Amino acid sequence: MRNKLSLALAVTLMMALGATGVSGASNASKVVVTHATVTTAKKGHSSAISFELSNNTSAKIWLTFVSSPLSPWEMIDYDKNMTVKSSQMIAESSIKVLAGHSLTLSFRGQGAMLGSISQNFKAGSTVPLTLGWHSKAHPLTTLVTFSALVVKPAKKIYFGTMSAGSLKGM
């Protein structure tokens, strides 16, 4: 009875994961995220994300999103320097990372952000994040979950100007 229940649970879990387009965990372990941080922010405002990603797969991958259950929307972007008041964010649909290479998302150049966060982000706490990526070899989105440390940035972060209007916290 116990083995049948375990098998039924495993089949249900596999079906649920397959239905959401998540690839196997072995692929996720080949894309490694380190040094993840998000900036302090008040509820309803935006927070900048930074981390280092290593592509240890044998093919180039495309980073397609970084999200959190604590934010209703996210964006990967390019901003020359988010510590300059006249910064301008350009949304990107994906970021290519070649096989065997690393990518740093930061406040200068390629980065990511969360918008309209559902609670205050206080320095020293952690925030759950999920990264989505795919490749030709793994066309379904693979998810990598990790935690980011909330840090107070050394300089004020500006969330740029966007044609769709201003964001809270800019």
Domains of the chain are 22-151 (2.60.40.1890)
Res. 33: pLDDT tops 90: yes
The owner of tokens 């089949």 is 11
pLDDT band at 103 (very low <50, low <70, confident <90, very high): very high
What is the Cα–Cα distance from 165 to 144, expressed in whole angstroms? 31
Helices (H), the chain: 2-19, 25-28
Percentage, residues of the chain above pLDDT 90: 59
Are 53 and 129 in contact, with CB atoms under 8 Å apart? no
Percentage, residues of the chain above pLDDT 70: 77
pTM comes to 0.75
pLDDT band at 161 (very low <50, low <70, confident <90, very high): low
Question: What's the count of helices (H) and strands (E) in the chain, helices before strands?
Answer: 2, 10
What number is the average pLDDT over the span 107-121? 93
- 9, 43, 50 from 61: Cα distances, Å: 32, 33, 18
What number is the average pLDDT over the span 70-96? 90
What is the Cα–Cα distance from 71 to 98, expressed in whole angstroms? 29
